[in-house]
Amino acid sequence: MPDRVATPPLYYRSEGKGPLVIMIHGLLMDGQCWRNNGVISALSSSFHVVCPDLIGHGASDKPDNPALYSRENQALSIVNLMDELGYEKAHVVGYSAGAWLTLGLLDLYPQRLSSVVLGGWDCLKGLPETPYGKLTFDMFISFARETAPELTRSLSAQDEKGVEHFFNALSRPPENVEPLFTRSTPKLLWAGTRDPYYAAMAELAEKQGIPLISGAGDHLSEANHPDKSTIDKLLRFILDPRMSV
């Protein structure tokens, strides 16, 4: 297991009181995205909502040490945050790379989870194939600069190196993921119908009998601008994870 002392602490935003909800962002984003898209305001009247900046992102550390970006180490950083806040359990919502990390929590720390929401991610296969093979960091960052310059224009060289370390950890092939979906932790899947990951998520939802929120967006817009119906369904699930959304 990773070293608790060596795991960098995470900067986080916090609003509300009640049971803990941890919102985990995707690559090139930070915890502020959950405030900007309206999710924090919808949840914070009933929950203590905490939105960390993951390692290599936002105001958190960006160490030039690839080992610190492993899923095991990052999962421990979330558990450390829960301990710091004084909570034994949390509802965890992860989108894209945040869903990848949430799967790590489901694997390593299921006893610390009240429920999980997995958004915008192929949980079984991970990063997509391209006509040239598996997606690489150079492909990813070039595409991001072209299609989402608002996420890349302020990156320093240190920032980009941190994102590259994160991406390389993310790109490792998933192993033994399917058995995680038989665990008793309540689960919800979420994807926009125009997201390239949507078909894989819909197939997984049907096969495992997991409820799926089908938003109207693509991969990025579904996270940045979820519609009211999607936010309402997220809230309803977290309020009572055993109820159908």
Q: Tens digit of pLDDT for each residue in 121-155?
A: 999 999 998 998 889 999 999 999 999 999 999 99
Tokens 């092939």, residue?
A: 173
CB within 8 Å of 173: residues ≥ 6 apart: 126
Q: Which regions in the chain score pLDDT beneath 70?
A: 1-5
pLDDT at residue 5 in the model: 45
Of 59, 75, 95, 111, which Cα lies nearest the Cα of 1? 75
Q: What is the pTM of this model?
A: 0.95
Burial 107-116 (b: 16+ CB within 10 A, else e): bbbeebbbbb
pLDDT value, residue 2: 53
Summary count for the chain: helices (H), strands (E): 10, 9
Q: Two tokens at 7? A: 């795991």
Count the residues in the chain: 245
DSSP letter for 222, please: H
Q: pLDDT tens digits, residue range 171-184? A: 998 888 999 999 99
Biggest alpha carbon–alpha carbon distance for the chain? 48
> Two tokens at 133?
């093979």
Cβ atoms within 10 A of the Cβ of 7, count? 19
Residue 43 CB: number of other CB atoms within 10 A?
A: 24
Q: What is the pLDDT of residue 241?
A: 92
